[in-house]
Chains A and B, each alone.
Chain A
Amino acid sequence: MIVVRLDRMLADRKMALGELAEKVGISNVNLSNLKTGKVKAIRFSTLDAICKALECQPADILEYVEDESE
């Protein structure tokens, strides 16, 4: 299972969700869905924009966790 650690990066960079959404060019709702893990997929262009805005690597935001149900 892929877990999105966006909240951790936002806290490190002291950035609000709305500010990041504006920089990335997606809606607050979509970014919130991404943060809470409700999305099914992320485009490379969106990942590229997030990493650029937060000045981080994709591995800082995405983490693989063993799914207990599997």
Chain B
Amino acid sequence: MTNQIVSHKRFKALVSVVYVISLIALILVGIATLATLVASFVLIMVPVDSLMNILSSIPANFTFEGEGFSLAITDDLLSSVTLDKTLLVITAFVSTLSIVPMFLIIYFLNRWLNNLRKGDILVPKNSKYIEYIGYSFVLLSLMETLLTYFSSTLVSNALAMSSLPVEVAEFLNIDSTVSFNFITIFAGILIWIIAKTMQYGAFLQDEYDATV
């Protein structure tokens, strides 16, 4: 009996600590989402010439080492890079959207931990939160794929129009093909299965609680 009380207290303490950590993470990710959203809107309003001026004003004084070659990054090279503004804005908005699944995961995790702190362990709400976490993992994988595609297209387009030698540009050509992170998708499905198991557990708990 004493061991049950100690482990129960330990469980509550651990849940409380993880709840606080998740709350801090939730606030930080929320701020990051807002910041990227604001930056995306600012990019629409800023002219592409101003963006190029900002890029050109970066002090370029480093060398990129590759297989069999070294590339000196100079002011001339940076000034020859041309950014596609439409693609840049789309990439910025997609990067904002890609943070949303992370925010949702942390939010539902925080709600679940809050219920655990109150002592509500096997309740239907908790299984719903875990189910939504599973869906968010799948959404995260899709958003990551989109972001990778748009950002790699942006970079390869910018490099293609720069003053880089053709061989170097081809070497640095980033693959813009679509590829899914199946591990994240699998994790999402697994979490969904666990949620359904907990849903049945909540049903059994309810049956037990309603038995005198």
Q: Considering only CB atoms and an 8 Å cut-off, how many residues of chain B contact the other chain? A: 4
**A42 and B211 alpha carbons, distance in the complex (Å):** 5
Tell me the B residues contacting A by CB distance below 8 Å: 207, 210-212
Whether a CB of chain B sits under 8 angstroms from the CB of A57 is: no
Q: Which residues of B contact A31 (CB under 8 A)?
A: 212
Tell me the A residues contacting B by CB distance below 8 Å: 26, 30-31, 33-34, 38-43, 46
What are 21 residue pairs bridging A and B, where the CB atoms are less than 8 Å apart in the complex?
A26-B212, A30-B212, A31-B212, A33-B212, A34-B212, A38-B210, A39-B210, A39-B211, A39-B212, A40-B207, A40-B210, A40-B211, A41-B207, A41-B210, A41-B211, A41-B212, A42-B211, A42-B212, A43-B211, A43-B212, A46-B212
Q: Which residues of A contact B212 (CB under 8 A)?
A: 26, 30-31, 33-34, 39, 41-43, 46
Q: Which residues of B contact A46 (CB under 8 A)?
A: 212
Q: Closest 3 A-B residue pairs measured CB to CB?
A: A40-B210, A41-B211, A39-B212
**Smallest Cβ distance from B122 to chain A, in angstroms?**
16
**A30 and B209 alpha carbons, distance in the complex (Å):** 10
Q: Which residue of A lies closest to B211 (CB)?
A: A41
**Smallest Cβ distance from A42 to chain B, in angstroms?**
5
**A51 and B212 alpha carbons, distance in the complex (Å):** 14
